[in-house]
Amino acid sequence: MKSARLPSVGAVLILAVVLAWTLFPILWQALTSVKPDTDLVQLPPLLPLHPTLDHYEALFQQHPFSRVLLNSFAVAVFTTLAALTLGMLAAFPLARLPIRGKTLVLGLVLGCSMFPAIVTVGPLFIIIRALGLRDTWWALLISHTTFALPLTIWVLTNFLRELPEDLYRAARVDGCSPWQAFVRILLPLCRPGLTAAGILAFLFSWTEFLYAFTFTATEASRTVPVAIALFPGLHEIRWGEIAAASIVVTLPVLALVLLFHRHIVSGLTAGAVKG
């Protein structure tokens, strides 16, 4: 990892541009979300002249949003844990153990992610319905985990492969079983990979729309993206409410990231692997 040095002026400038590029659409949504409907249709006033919280009120009044947030959160956390656990368990043999057919397994795993989601949703729904899981967390948990697994397995396999061979061999020579060597030595070193894969799995589940839309029917299991899709009236695209919804969708993630950012930082930059 690069040493602690103040970045050059050029780097600062580029970073500023990157930040502006990333944040501008979101900031624009935030501004839009507090403009009253009548102001929305006129552009010369960029900033809201009479900021209002009407759109946010409409969001929470007309829809049981707190339940929806809980659904999304629970499914995302479950998916992340399941994907990381299963993925890590699979990545270890694929990276380090002398089993046969590794390429085949990796290829098959990758193959599962090559199908467009829209063609898988119909048959999956039939299964979900047959199992009586329609409108439950389970339906989403199963489908989200399945489609988060390929990336998780690939990333973690890759990470394990990059770790020096000697560490594992040394542990085995010391008398550890493969599992012990894995848990005690390799796992802690994988924090960057685990963090990255975990974040991606969480965000995949949090933002997933198609399966959530198809498998849920009421607030019992509806997630945030589907709830947002239910906002607009027959013809009305309520820009204000959609803007408010986008902010509400982003805030929990932002809060989580800021809460855990020290872990993310150390997870992502755990340069504990000295050459």
Partner 1 sequence: MRDRSEIHTGYALLVPALAVLAVVAIYPILGLFWLSLRQRILPFGIDAFIGLDNFRLLVQTPRFWNSLGVTCYFAVLSVTLEVTLGLSIALLLARRFPGVGWMRAVILLPWAIPTVVTAKMWDWMYQPELGILNYFLRASGLTTEPVNWLGTPSLAIHAAIVADVWKTTPFVVILLLAGLALIPSDVYRAASLDGASPWQTFRHITLPLLRPILMVVVLFRMIDALRAFDLLYVMTSGGPADTTETLSIYAYKMLFQTLQFGYGSAIGVVMFMLVALVSLFQLWVGRRDSRRFVRARS
Partner 2 sequence: MTSSASILRRVGLLWCTLAALLACSSSGPPPAVEPGTVSLVFRHGKISGDPRPLQDLIRRFEAENPTIRVRSEPLPSSTDQQHQIYAINLEGGSGGIDVLAMDVIWIAEFSRAGWIRPLNEFFPYTAQASFLPNTIEAVTYRGRVFAVPWNIDAGLLYFRQDLLERYDRPPPRTWSELVETARIVLAGEHNPRLYGFIWQGRQYEGLICNALEFIWGNGGDILTTDRQLTALTSPATRNALAFMRDLIRTYHISPSLVTTADEETSRHLFGNGQAVFTRNWPYAWTMFERAGSPVRGKVGVYPLPTFGNDRLASTLGGWQLGITRDSRHPREAWRFIEFLTSTEVQKILTVQVGMLPTRRALYEDPGMFATQPHLARLGPILAGARPRPVTPFYPMVSQVLQSEFSAVLAGLRDPETALRSAQLQLEPVLRLEAR
Site for partner 1 in 9-68 (CB under 8 A): 11, 14-15, 18-19, 21-23, 25-26, 28-29, 32, 40-44, 46
Question: For residue 97, what is the DSSP state?
Answer: S
Interatomic CA distance for residues 169 and 153, integer angstroms: 22
Residue 242 interacting entry, from partner 1, partner 2, none, C-beta within 5 to 8 Å by type: partner 1
Binding site for partner 2 (CB under 8 A): 37-38, 41-42, 62, 74, 77-78, 81, 85, 121-122, 125-126, 129, 132, 134-138, 141, 183-184, 187-188, 213-214, 217-218, 220-221, 226, 229-237, 272
Looking at the Cβ atoms of 104 and 237, the one nearer to partner 2 is 237
The site partner of 230 among partner 2, partner 1, none (C-beta below 5 to 8 Å per kind) is: partner 2
Stretch that binds partner 1, among 47-55, 58-66, 92-100 (CB under 8 A): 92-100
* Binder of residue 236, out of partner 1, partner 2, none (CB less than 5 to 8 A by kind): partner 2
Report in angstroms the alpha-carbon separations of 23 from 5, 8, 19, 256, 275.
25, 22, 6, 18, 37
- Neighbour tally for 20: CB within 10 Å: 10
When CB distances are held under 5 to 8 angstroms depending on the partner's kind, the choice from partner 2, partner 1, none that residue 184 binds is partner 2
Handedness of CA 33, 34, 38, 43 (dihedral sign): negative
Nearer to partner 2, 9 or 126 (CB): 126
Return contacts of 149-152, CB within 8 angstroms, 24+ apart: 149/83, 149/86, 149/87, 149/109, 149/112, 150/109, 150/110, 150/112, 150/113, 151/113, 151/197, 151/200, 151/201, 151/204, 152/83, 152/84, 152/86, 152/87, 152/197, 152/200, 152/201
> Which amino acid would we find at residue 90?
A
| Nearer to partner 2 (CB atom), residue 102 or residue 252 | 252
Burial 112-141, CB ≥16 within 10 A → b, else e? eeeeeeeebbeebbeebeeeebbbbbbbbb
Closest distance to partner 2 from the beta carbon of 18 (Å):
29
- Cα distance between residue 79 and residue 143, in whole Å: 9
Interface residue with partner 1, options 80, 143, 216, 221 (CB under 8 A): 143
Give whichever of 205 and 214 is closer to partner 2, judged by the CB atom.
214
Query: Shortest distance, CB of residue 50 to partner 1, whole angstroms?
Result: 18
Binding to partner 1 (CB under 8 A) within 202-261 occurs at 203, 206-210, 224-225, 228-229, 237, 239, 242-243, 245-246, 249-250, 253-254, 257-258, 261
